[in-house]
Structure 1
Amino acid sequence: MALFPSSSLLRCSISSHAVSPRDLKAPWIGSVRQLNQSLVPSNAGISFGKQCFVKPICAELRSDLGVPLAAGVVAADEIESLDYEKLAKEMENGSPLEIMDKALEKFGSEIAIAFSGAEDVALIEYAKLTGRPFRVFSLDTGRLNSETYQFFDTVEKHYGIRIEYMFPDAVEVQALVRTKGLFSFYEDGHQECCRVRKVRPLRRALKGLRAWITGQRKDQSPGTRAEIPVVQVDPSFEGKDGGNGSLVKWNPLANVQGRDIWNFIHAMNVPINTLHPKGYISIGCEPCTRPVLPGQHEREGRWWWEDAKAKECGLHKGNIKHVEVSQLNGNGNGAAQHTNWSATVTDLFNSPKLVNLSRTGIENLSRLEIRKEPWIVVLYAPWCRFCQAMEESYVELAEKLDGSGVKVGKFRADGDQKEFAKQGLQLGSFPTILFFPKYSSKPIKYPSEKRDVDSLMALVSALL
């Protein structure tokens, strides 16, 4: 798939305009000169039936969203009549430029680009290259890096646009911080904080739109984004008409590799966040983002204290397969209360080398101040896909420790036992791994998301 036409074939320039403050009822989106038709290949996805010059946009503020309208409004019945599954198949091999142009053509002012301050700045570049008016919005959580705020300003000046910022509800943020502190997400998962600071502001923003454009790619998170189509009916959020199917989601970069995005960014001299050269690839809030090491997946830098296969904040929760949104617990890893779990789910960690602890058994183990031998115990739920993923390594651990003097056990901590496990056994999410030392009454909680047998053996060796 051709990512983008040669930069020599695309010659666009942002035009500057002298606009007085009284002429601006709202921020305007920069104008783009039309490309020379003879220089652009036929598959570039650009329509030349437009005016030669796009005027600056000065629009009334929306009362429900607080952001300006671009040009053109798409009819609701036209949106409903489109077959997006068919369109996704037709455009599966399309370039990002072609997909972006189609999205802006179809939805006009009823669509906006979601910009996070990371490499999805490429979306803005593609939008500019189409020659069409476009809107950009971003979620200001109040906890972004200073470099990200500076980047927002750079992007606005570079493209001559005004980013439409959405902010969390101050009362909700105040209640969360007063009740649980500034860093509760390290203890009980990032979902609650993300829900207040990101998901709800996004929900408000999308209620004023009929479509949005994201920078999601299949290679970003194989556990949750591997099947992203280039266009879809949004499975999680509602648009301005309300109800299921009222919002369309466009993912122009879905089939593009991260390295190709960066090649495009460098070729087009697109501004970048200054955190990127410091090792930050996927950039979110400051407390939840860190650089990654060479060879690490980009999502390893987000919420690094949680499971690597569940790196979603809730903005794209519709990507997660086989797990209903209502079943997600604080860490978004499927720790739910199942009413029929005993009849439908096969148990895990079935090995003669493992001790299956009852409620009484683990309570007694927890009360002992001096034990005859140390224990390592997993708190699990058999329906949890992350518990399922570590089954082989945990059984192998039990086999390796057989006869070593270290007992390996399991305790099923879902259903009726979940509240007890949360209060008495430090359960935050499934699976939770505890090490009970020989001469200490308090169990030690394994903090890492690495659950391969070597990492678990390293834990045991370090604490013996």
Structure 2
Amino acid sequence: MALAVTSSSAAAAAAAAKSTSFFSRIGSSSDTKVSQIGSLRILEKTHGSNGALNLPQRRYLVRPLNAKSKRNDSIVPLAATIVAPEVTEKEEEDFEQLAKNLENASPLEIMDKALEKFGSDIAIAFSGAEDVALIEYAHLTGRPYRVFSLDTGRLNPETYRLFDAVEKRYGIRIEYMFPDAVEVQGLVRTKGLFSFYEDGHQECCRIRKVRPLRRALKGLRAWITGQRKDQSPGTRSEIPVVQVDPVFEGLDGGAGSLVKWNPVANVNGNDVWNFLRTMDVPVNSLHSQGYVSIGCEPCTRPVLPGQHEREGRWWWEDAKAKECGLHKGNLKQEDGAQTNGNGNDAQANGSAAVADIFNTQNVVSLSRAGIENLAKLEDRKEPWLVVLYAPWCRFCQAMEESYVDLAENLAGSGVKVGKFRADGDEKEYAKSELGLGSFPTILFFPKHSSRPIKYPSEKRDVDSLLAFVNALR
């Protein structure tokens, strides 16, 4: 039997014609397709290729780094009328075990595994230094990949030129994240352009780096960093090749929602550079000028021969706090006390028993009262050289021999050599009254001046210290 469906009124026909006209207009759009299943028309939005993705053929849906919540409150009341589909609960990945399995894997294998698992929900954090190795590894996998970078507004010109060279070399668009203009404006207007030299880098880094990074990671489920164990023995010596990020949150929100990959964690810095030279990739021209670890221009300087690469970053602060906040999960608890933003731990507060240093008859140990009296004197009979130190500080320990030798050289010369333990309960006094910035701080108290003069160099050999004393005695 044949069934015929006819319209019972002209109004129905007009409505149908109007509907057809509506969808015809939509179908004429250059980027919209209309398909029909039975009497239901479905709009399908086509997506062009994203320059930030290395996608030669297949189309991928890419969420922006600073993705907003997917919830639309306007449709929530309709939820009661919709039958929810069955959801299969996803089995949680044991990333600790995965890290063990990949412990001896090559950076290329680790990168390939990361891109395979997370697709367009993962991105490489590129700082403009040797992180270019990560981009090369990602390129070699043949998989699509994303790259983002934090433009603090205070990078070196050489870093910006490297960004451009990398984009052209790999045919990508780096996804730049910028600090909030109002927050930067407030900081600079209130405290000046270089407040971090006076009160530490944490506040500036929080505004220019950490908060933009937080926004970026909220649009991802995983990120890839260039951290290596040999970069900072104090904070990075135990980083795994993959871990649940201990600090930041990802797209789904909450603890455990973001995975952090460190493909070169187990690679020596020299091997990274051998790889870069072999592959002939563009690198920051600052490296040839003695810069190793490169950050913002005001907070980065070349390192001297024999210095560790991280000593060129925030050199005016405690050596134990060489993290800007991007990897603050690396700062560990020691002796049951939480490390704080200034790098002070249980030892810094004087609660740990550590053998004293600079123990020689030629070095006078000054008490709090002694250093206060010395600082108050306006007409000293003889000049003093005093080191503000903490016996647990490895930099103080490293200069012990040269300082003791200096004291022997100055014995009988009319210059007194002293030491003042400035950690623990004495640290606040030393910071506010003596200008303590980091350990060790060396002060020269002239004969006819009440104001001490701070030794400005990180060269702590006998000849350098002696030249400083002879210029002022």
Which category of TM-score, normalised to the shorter sequence, fits these structures? 0.7 to 0.9
SS in structure 2 opposite 1:108?
helix
Q: Superposition pairs for residues 310-349 of structure 1, below 5 Å?
A: 310-322=321-333, 327-329=339-341, 332-334=342-344, 341=349, 344-346=352-354, 348-349=356-357
Q: How does 1:245-394 map to 2 (within 5 A)?
A: 245-292=256-303, 297-306=308-317, 310-322=321-333, 327-329=339-341, 332-334=342-344, 341=349, 344-346=352-354, 348-349=356-357, 351=359, 353=361, 354-381=363-390, 386-387=395-396, 390=399, 394=403
Q: Mapping of 1:131-142 within 5 angstroms?
A: 131-142=142-153
301-310 vs 150-159, which moves further: 301-310
TM-superposed deviation, 1:111: 1.7
Counting aligned pairs with the same residue, the percent is 73
* Partners of 1:259 and 1:417 in 2: CA distance: 41
The aligned residue for residue 209 of structure 1 is: 220
TM-aligned CA deviation for residue 97 of structure 1: 0.9
Structure 2, unaligned stretches of length 5 or more? 1-29, 32-44, 70-86
Cα distance in 2 between the residues matched to 1:428 and 1:297: 19
Question: What one-letter code is carried by the residue in structure 1 that aligns with 2:58?
Answer: K
Matched with 1:100 is 111
Alpha carbons 2:124, 2:134 under 8 Å: kept: yes
Query: Which stretch shifts more, 308-317 or 146-155?
Result: 308-317
**In the TM superposition, what is the alpha-carbon distance from 1:115 to its structure 2 partner?**
0.4
Q: Which amino acid aligns with 2:158?
A: E
For residues 367-411 of structure 1, the C-alpha deviation after alignment (integer angstroms, 9 at most, x for no partner) is 212212211223345565555555565455545544443323333
Q: Tell me whether 1:228 sits opposite 2:236 in the alignment.
A: no
Q: Could you tell me whether the CA contact under 8 Å between 1:65 and 1:204 is conserved in 2?
A: no
Residue 178 of structure 1 aligns with an amino acid whose one-letter code is R
Which residue identity is paired with 1:116?
S
Q: Letter of the aligned partner of 1:438 in structure 2?
A: K
The answer for the alignment partner of 2:452 in structure 1 is: 443
The SS at the match of 2:283 is: coil
- Residue 55, structure 1, aligned to residue 55, structure 2: no
Name the structure 2 match of 1:195.
Answer: 206
Structure 2 equivalent of residue 161 of structure 1: 172
**Structure 2 CA distance for aligned equivalents of residues 236 and 387 of structure 1:** 31
Q: Secondary structure at the match of 1:290?
A: coil
1:420 corresponding residue in structure 2: 429
Distance 1:138 1:64, change over 3 A: same
SS at match of 2:120: coil
Partner SS for 2:148 = strand
Tell me which moved more, 384-393 or 405-414: 384-393
Judged with a 3 Å threshold, the aligned counterparts in structure 2 of structure 1 residues 438 and 337 are, in CA distance, closer, same or farther, namely same
For residues 234 and 402 of structure 2, what CA distance do their matches in structure 1 show? 19
Give the Cα–Cα distance (whole angstroms) in 2 for the partners of residues 62 and 281 of structure 1: 29
Paired amino acid for 1:328? N
Q: CA deviation at 1:58?
A: 5.1
Moved >6 Å (runs of 4+):
335-338
Q: 1:380 to 1:237 in 2, by over 3 A?
A: farther
Amino acid at match of 2:210: V
Q: 1:108 Cα deviation (Å)? A: 2.1
Pick closer, same or farther for the CA change 1:245–1:60 going to 2, 3 Å.
Answer: closer
Displacement of 1:30 in angstroms is 4.2
> Are residues 1:90 and 2:101 paired?
yes
Distance 1:348 1:304 in 2: 25
For 1:91-136, what per-residue CA distance to the aligned partner results, in whole angstroms no more than 9, with x for missing partners?
1221111000111112223321100112211211211222222221
TM-score normalized by the length of structure 2: 0.74
* 1:110 and 2:117 are equivalent in the alignment: no
Q: Deviations over 1:255-280 (max 9, x none)?
A: 22333333333433423334344443
User: Do 2:347 and 2:392's aligned partners in 1 also have CA atoms closer than 8 Å?
Assistant: no
Q: Against the structure 1 CA distance between its residues 279 and 425, is the aligned structure 2 distance closer, same or farther, given a 3 Å change threshold?
A: closer
TM-score (norm 1): 0.76
Q: Does the 8 Å CA contact 2:317/2:437 hold for their aligned counterparts?
A: no
Uncovered stretches (5+) of structure 1, i.e. residues with no partner: 1-18, 34-53, 67-74
Q: Which residue of 1 aligns with 2:36?
A: none
Partner of 2:443: 434
Q: Per-residue displacement from partner, 1:189-209 (whole Å, max 9, x unpaired)?
A: 333322221122222322332
Equivalent pair of 2:318/2:437 in contact (CA under 8 Å): no
Q: CA deviation at 1:436?
A: 0.7
| Mapped contact 1:308–1:449 kept (Cα < 8 A) | no
User: Is the 8 Å Cα contact of residues 319 and 438 (structure 2) preserved in structure 1?
Assistant: no
Shift in alpha-carbon separation, 1:364–1:291, aligned structure 2, 3 A? closer
Partner Cα separation in structure 2 for residue 342 and residue 259 of structure 1: 37
State the shift of 1:218 in Å. Answer: 2.7
Kept in 1: contact 2:318–2:438 (CA 8 A)? no
Q: Aligned in 2, Cα 1:131/1:77: closer, same or farther, shift over 3 Å?
A: farther
- Counterpart of 2:35? none
Seen in structure 2, the aligned counterparts of structure 1 residues 121 and 422 have a Cα distance that, compared at 3 Å, is same
